[in-house]
Structure 1
Amino acid sequence: MGNLPEQFWQASLAELKQGFCHDRTSDTFLCLLCGHRIADGVIYRHGDQLYEAKKYMAIHIAESHGSPFHSLLQLDKKLIGLTEHQKSLLELFYAGHSDSDVAQALQAGSTSTIRNHRFSLREKQKQAKIFLAIMELLAEQPPKKPSFIDLPPSHQPPDRRFAITEQENAKILATYFQAGADGPLDHFPQKEKKRVAIIRQLATHFAPQQTYTEKEVNDILKPLYHDYVLLRRYLIEYGFLDRTADGSAYWRKS
């Protein structure tokens, strides 16, 4: 398989399983396996049948890549962490073969040996799920030091990790606010520099010199992203909102 589209690494698990995603910015369906795009809202002919764009992309996946399962399985070992033997096992399991059939096909010992391989792969699945949760929690952890993104250059310290140009900021917002800068937020980035740009944009939903209750803050953030508590925490941590010690009042910092 050739180079994967950039969107492959931003895709959800559900999108990886189907092999494509919907790009709201261009209103197209994008094949995550080869980068092929088709416009949404168009009817496509395949043989004697007419198909809507989403179904037609599924046909493209089947004809060009076989299936998302086999395409993902053929990725480089450094990407999926599977040996060739494990790949062969998974292909046979996916085809519905019994443990005894797999043992005979691979000449890999007894049925109990294959059963142990199944168990090991399930354990790997559990470990992967926990690792993903750990990495997502790590990505959500706010910095211990405040961002200096809004300070003028003369007042900023030498570390300018969070400095963002207007061009960079516009690109980040277009990527994560695909329905427009006013939201909603499609997904929350893992890179801190991008998170700062997102949080700064979210802060514009709060009027300067106005005080909000926690419920009012939540009501503003809920339509913007499902994890509104995370957004509220980051607005505080990055210094865009402040609050009283008991959390009874919030306000936008100038």
Structure 2
Amino acid sequence: MNNIPELFWQATLDEIKQGYLYNETSDEFLCLICGEIIQNGVIYPENNILYEAKKYIGVHIAKCHHSSFHFLLNLDKKLTGLTDHQKLVLELFYEGKSDNDVAKSLGTGSTSTIRNHRFSLREKQKQAKVFLAIMELLGEQIPKKQNFIDIPRNAKQVDERFAITEQENAKILSTYFKKGLNGPLDSFPLKEKKRVAILQHILKNFAANQNYSEKEVNAILKPLYEDYVLLRRLLIDYGFMERTSDGSSYWLTL
């Protein structure tokens, strides 16, 4: 099971866990597993029950994919790092079975063996957290002098996405701003390195040491790209801008 939509890899951990994301611009829910679109505001019938869109996307995932857990569990070993035996044990744990029940299901006859499995899996979880931290720290060690793009101080992760040479940057901008660097965007790429270059260029439309209302940010971004809400969100996600918790004020971080 390796045919995973590109959007899946761009989703947050919480979105991956729930199996879907909400697109604010189109006002729709998108299944990260198969790409099914559920339009918000529409009532969906299922087994003589009517569901609002947010409820129905959960029904869709349960009906078509069993659950996000089962989808993730059944991904290729290259992605999960889990053996078939570990997957079976995890599935039994997910079902809420006791150590004794799991032992009987596996035919081991020993609850101590199952306790060891639980311990090993918790250790694997710890290792995964440490590995993620190591990779983020490694990315932060990229010498700034090797980067053309200014790295925002609030970037959640500093890595090769920001390692863009002047030549690369010029090529990216000419590709996606076909009508000139003042916009609009011809399209918006999925590759993060290209997105970083474009977002960095878009910052030139904002003044430093100035606060903007969300309406003002939208007015600046809207002529550049039809999905201006996506641009606004990514400027925050990539650390180029910050905003107050209520979204009433935005400002540059560079």
TM class by shorter chain equals: 0.5 to 0.7
- 1:46 correspondence with 2:50: no
Contact 1:28 1:39 in 2 (8 A): yes
| TM-score calculated relative to the size of structure 2 | 0.66
Give yes or no for contact 2:103–2:110 (8 Å, CA) kept in 1: yes
The separation in 2 between residues aligned to 1:62 and 1:148, in whole angstroms, is 43
**What residue in structure 2 maps to residue 197 of structure 1?**
198
- Alignment partners' CA distance in 2, 1:55 and 1:16: 17
User: Taking structure 1 as reference, are residues 108 and 161 closer, same or farther at Cα in structure 2, changes over 3 Å only?
Assistant: farther
1:144 match: secondary structure: helix
- In 1, distance between residues paired with 2:76 and 2:186? 30
Which residue is equivalent to 2:108?
108
The code of the aligned residue for 1:231 comes to F
Q: Pairwise mapping of residues 32-181 of structure 1 onto structure 2 (< 5 A)?
A: 32-108=32-108, 110-139=110-139, 143-147=144-148, 160-162=167-169, 163-168=171-176, 170=185
CA distance, structure 2, for counterparts of residue 12 and residue 227 of structure 1: 10
- Give 1:26 shift: 3.3
- 2: distance between equivalents of 1:80 and 1:171? 37
Superposed CA offset, 1:163-215 (max 9, x none):
3144536367587xxxxxxxxxxxxx8x4342222122123211xxxxx5xxx
Instruction: Return the alpha-carbon distance in structure 2 between the equivalents of residues 128 and 221 of structure 1.
Output: 39
Gaps of at least 5 residues in structure 2 are 151-164, 178-184, 218-231, 242-251
Deviates more, 1:129-138 or 1:107-116: 129-138
Range moving further from structure 2, 44-53 or 10-19: 44-53
Q: What secondary structure does 1:45 align onto?
A: strand
Q: Whole-Å Cα distance in 2 between the matches of residues 203 and 46 of structure 1?
A: 49
What is the identity, as a one-letter code, of the residue corresponding to 2:24? R
Number of matched pairs: 202
Distance 1:142 1:44 in 2: 52
Q: CA deviation at 1:116?
A: 1.2
Computed over aligned residues only, the root mean square deviation of the Cα atoms, in angstroms, reads 3.4
Report if aligned partners of 1:28, 1:37 keep a CA contact under 8 Å in 2. Answer: yes
Task: State the match for 1:231 in structure 2.
Answer: 240
1:198 counterpart letter in structure 2: L
TM-score normalised by the chain length of structure 1:
0.66
Preserved contact between residue 19 and residue 68 of structure 2 (Cα < 8 Å): yes
Identity %: 51
Q: Name the residue aligned to 2:247.
A: none
Cα distance in 1 for residues equivalent to 2:16 and 2:149: 37
Superposed displacement of residue 90, structure 1: 0.1
The letter of the residue matching 1:161 is E
Q: Decide which structure has the larger Cα Rg and report it.
A: 1
Q: Distance in 1 between matches of 2:198 and 2:126?
A: 34
Decide whether the 8 Å contact of 1:21 with 1:31 is kept in 2: yes
